[in-house]
Amino acid sequence: QSALTQPASVSGSPGQSITISCTGTSSDVGGYNYVSWYQQHPGKAPKLMIYDVSNRPSGVSNRFSGSKSGNTASLTISGLQAEDEADYYCSSYTSSSTHWVFGGGTKLTVL
Amino acid sequence: QVQLQESGPGLVKPSGTLSLTCAVSGGSISSSNWWSWVRQPPGKGLEWIGEIYHSGSTNYNPSLKSRVTISVDKSKNQFSLKLSSVTAADTAVYYCARVWMGPLHAFDIWGQGTMVTVSS
């Protein structure tokens, strides 16, 4: 069982928007603005898409945005494109001795 | 552009020790970053294993701490992972990654990953 809870799957049609949630506790998501999101295509390494809740690294499309409310962080992808179909993982720093925790991952299907 | 490359045996016998190395190119391992190992069992999610700073300071996942050793070799600009007493449950793709702890806080660069199978 992962430390952070994500839905197993979400889907959307091209052009639509989807949101993936990531729920933790006050020791991780709720306690730090150190939530990040990663995109992983099959057979590839994870790619950083969002850091520190809502910041995009250089080169990441502005269709990707992040937010947080309490112990739940969210990743929103607007204007869905076929290339967005992938697995998405959230991560957070935690005050526990684990230091870093990941969500179980969400499979995004573009219909 | 910093790049990471994992290397090591793809097959390890049960009860043996898994040993992997991550070579850092395009930058110095002595920069103000932590360097981490993350693994992903087939069809499953990501699991943080541990991290090291160039000074040698380490942090480990408590669930693996008794079996894990992460070390750094500044002369070779690389860091390594050793996981002892492996079982089939340790079969996974192992990634090395650069970790920022300021001004951003995330795993920003990842190696391509290396598959390690535990089997006799």
Nearby residues of A64 by Cβ (< 8 Å), 6 or more positions away: A37, A49, A50, A56, A75, A76, A77
Decide if pLDDT at A1 tops 70: no
* Mean pLDDT computed over B64-82: 97
* Alpha carbons A110 and A101: distance in angstroms, whole number: 27
Decide if pLDDT at A50 tops 80: yes
Q: In which band, very low, low, confident or very high, does the pLDDT at A28 lie, cut at 50, 70 and 90?
A: very high
Count chain A–chain B contacts defined by CB atoms under 8 A: 63
Torsion angle, alpha carbons of B36, B116, B89, B66, to 10 = -40
* Alpha carbons B13 and A65: distance in angstroms, whole number: 44
Are A74 and A22 spatial neighbours (Cβ–Cβ below 8 Å)? yes
Confidence at residue B85, expressed as pLDDT on a 0 to 100 scale: 98
> Closest approach of chain A CAs to the CA of B63, in angstroms?
8
* Alpha carbons B8 and B114: distance in angstroms, whole number: 8
Confidence at residue A2, expressed as pLDDT on a 0 to 100 scale: 66
* Mean pLDDT computed over A72-84: 98
Q: What is the amino acid identity at position A11?
A: S
**Contact B46/A100, CB-based, under 8 Å?**
no
Candidate from A3-7, A93-97, B36-40 with smallest mean pLDDT: A93-97
**Contact A52/B106, CB-based, under 8 Å?**
yes
Say yes or no: B48 contacts chain A, CB-CB below 8 A: yes
> Closest approach of chain A CAs to the CA of B17, in angstroms?
22
Confidence at residue B90, expressed as pLDDT on a 0 to 100 scale: 98
